[in-house]
Structure 1
Amino acid sequence: MKLGIIGGAGLLGSTTAFVVGMKDILDEIKLVDLNKSVLGSHVMDMGQALLPISKTKITMADYSDLSDCDIIVITASLPERKVDNRNEYLQGNLGIMKPICESLREFTKEAIVLTCTNPIDVFNYVTWKLLGWNKNKILGFDLNDTLRLKWSVASVTGLEYGKLNGYCIGEHGDGQVRLFDQMTYEGRPINLTDEQAISSTKLTADWFRTYQELESKRTTGWTSAVNLAEIIEAIATDSGKVIPCSIILTGENGYEGVSMGMPVSLGKDGVKEIALPELTTTQKEQLNNTAEKIKGLINSVIQ
């Protein structure tokens, strides 16, 4: 199986390539970017770094070279800047996503596409509309929200992160819905108090604000790369592992004309099935509001 990464010279693209390459699950990773000098240095450096631990080849590519790729990750975007929320990137990144999709339609076969360009839910839907490919193969990357949900709960309760299970769904942004009521620890319900849930929510919100206030002009490369690698591994190994992704909804669970985060079982053809647990009345209302918010943003860029 082969992977193509558009934006391979950037922090997220190159870090993802290296983390996935270390897993030794792919035949080749092809990197595409306008910055050929940095891209070339990544290919030369990574190619040697992986030799002792992996048979995965790292190559420099153009769009025409992606025709045999089974998975394509889009990490290209405008440079990072301080924002109040990720939707501020919408208009700027639209000018990047449209030509990328045009090139994919021209040069590649139908592949699984992982959208990482913010706002992810909107651009995942836009990508699907522009490509016209099987919706189960169009996935938006929002696993970081679930990682931070579990991190915040572990921080508030003192529980061990690795033994927590739970999901954050909805928007990769302010409209995320944290499924506190369905979380488990070692397979058993943990029953967070209202105070713990409020503290956990504040911790994740404060984390984003603090990160933005640093004005580092740097995305979360390592966190995102580790989580992207988990998704890619589930697809490449056809594992069926349940991982939250933004997916195209055309009536499923009562939602249509939108892309939102849902727990999904993943395999070699993309989404196998949606594994959404039963929601509380409050969670359902939150998700309904999030769906309408994302629809409004989608309609602002799709005529």
Structure 2
Amino acid sequence: MTKNDLTSSGGSRSAWPSTVAVIGAAGLIGSGVVERLAVEGLADTVYLTDLRDNILQAHAIDIAEAQILAGSTHTQLVVGPPPPGLPVDLVIVAASAPETPDGDRRDFLLANLRLLRILLPDIERLAGDHGVVMLLSNPVDVLSDALHRMSCIAPDRIVGYSLNDSIRFRAAVGREIGARPEHVSGLVLGEHGDGQVPLYSTLAVNSVPLVLSSDQRDRITADITGWFSRWSALKPGRSSGWTTPLGVAQIIKSMASGGVHPATIWTGALPELPDTFVSVPTVFRDGRLVPVLPTLSEQEITGLAQAARSVGTAAAEAVEALQATPK
């Protein structure tokens, strides 16, 4: 394993997670996550929850037939939550307010924070005392911090999905140097959005370290920070429905095997950073998300700390504003 790896296997997959609940499983991303879990056999039982029960029933039928085609019928799909008093190993929150064009990811904050408050009793019940909660909604860093502030869930059992930033970094580097992006490795840390911190020191092509000029770095940084505005200009009304489910499956496999992967987690164990949630290299150990920060340049540490301060401030202000409004 090297710090250049996006996800690095730490051995064969363990029995974790045996049970998974996907909140918002009727939507594009939620149903895509269920499909990946089922087809890849990443859990024994997956519970699908959403207000649209008919859509859940249809997804369950469709995905179960896809399992037969894939030759992987191990995972049982259950429409509805588990029985009361039966928490799950992993709660995936894919429910989100409808995305609108223009602006940035933080424009979804208040709507998704209100939704998170509504879902909070279900999230806490499903997670119990030991389950992990994975957030997929934007802005994932601020929402992860807000969930910690609003709930009784231990902060090191909360994780936000942020792998897509590193994928887009690899794609931008590939475009810049004319390389196939699957041959490029590199990490993006920090905030999922304008506060992202590309680690140019981790770049490699076919495991050979890559050194770029300052002009190349500037173009790549402009490319990745401009991704969301280019996406919004298409007015798709949705988020990345194919990349995220596949990435979630990769992260779950990495967590199960003890591999290192980028994820939005609690920074309370890192003296270099304010106490909040940003993306850092992470390992899942003894049921907890643990940061494994590599050696960073002064500029990278500064960028990461700046992103953390921004996220923490936004989360504190958003939760305060939410608490001042009626439920």
TM-score, normalization by structure 1: 0.93
Equivalent residue, structure 2, for 1:161: 181
Equivalent residue, structure 1, for 2:225: 205
Cα distance, 1:163 vs. partner? 2.9
Equivalent residue, structure 1, for 2:272: 254
Residues in 1 aligned to 2:305 and 2:244: alpha-carbon distance in whole angstroms? 27
> Where does 1:1-303 land on structure 2 (aligned, <5 Å)?
1-52=18-69, 53-54=71-72, 55-62=74-81, 64=83, 67-109=86-128, 110-235=130-255, 238-267=256-285, 269-271=287-289, 273-303=290-320
Residues in 2 aligned to 1:200 and 1:249: alpha-carbon distance in whole angstroms? 27
C-alpha deviations, 1:206-257, integer Å up to 9, x for none? 332221011110210101111111111223xx31211110111114142232
Residues in 2 aligned to 1:59 and 1:266: alpha-carbon distance in whole angstroms? 26
SS at match of 2:239: coil
Cα distance, 1:169 vs. partner? 0.5
Cα distance, 1:63 vs. partner? 6.5
Q: Does 11-20 or 193-202 show the bigger shift?
A: 193-202
What RMSD, in angstroms, separates the aligned Cα atoms of the two structures? 1.9
SS at match of 1:181: strand
Cα distance, 1:122 vs. partner? 1.0
After superposition, the Cα gap between the structure-2 partners of 1:231 and 1:65, relative to the gap in structure 1 and judged at 3 Å, is farther
Cα distance, 1:202 vs. partner? 2.0
Cα distance, 1:203 vs. partner? 2.0
Contact 2:193–2:225 (8 Å) recurs in 1:
no
Cα distance, 1:64 vs. partner? 4.7
Cα distance, 1:292 vs. partner? 1.6
Residues in 1 aligned to 2:183 and 2:285: alpha-carbon distance in whole angstroms? 24
Cα distance, 1:108 vs. partner? 4.3
Cα distance, 1:66 vs. partner? 8.4
Contact 1:9–1:38 (8 Å) recurs in 2:
yes
Cα distance, 1:7 vs. partner? 0.3
Cα distance, 1:45 vs. partner? 1.2
Alignment coverage as a number of residue pairs: 300
C-alpha deviations, 1:241-285, integer Å up to 9, x for none? 1111011111414223210000112356242x4222222222222
Residues in 2 aligned to 1:33 and 1:286: alpha-carbon distance in whole angstroms? 38
AA at the equivalent of 2:193: G
AA at the equivalent of 2:268: T
SS at match of 2:257: coil
Q: Does 157-166 or 174-183 show the bigger shift?
A: 157-166
Cα distance, 1:27 vs. partner? 0.7
Cα distance, 1:15 vs. partner? 0.6
Residues in 1 aligned to 2:168 and 2:86: alpha-carbon distance in whole angstroms? 35
Residues in 1 aligned to 2:266 and 2:307: alpha-carbon distance in whole angstroms? 14
AA at the equivalent of 1:177: V
SS at match of 2:276: strand
AA at the equivalent of 1:245: A
C-alpha deviations, 1:134-177, integer Å up to 9, x for none? 32221011110011011111111123323322210000111000
SS at match of 1:211: helix
Residues in 1 aligned to 2:269 and 2:90: alpha-carbon distance in whole angstroms? 26
C-alpha deviations, 1:12-33, integer Å up to 9, x for none? 0001111221112311111100
C-alpha deviations, 1:80-106, integer Å up to 9, x for none? 111321001111111110121222224
Contact 2:48–2:77 (8 Å) recurs in 1:
yes
After superposition, the Cα gap between the structure-2 partners of 1:270 and 1:22, relative to the gap in structure 1 and judged at 3 Å, is farther
Contact 2:93–2:136 (8 Å) recurs in 1:
yes
**5+ residue gaps, structure 2:** 1-17, 321-327
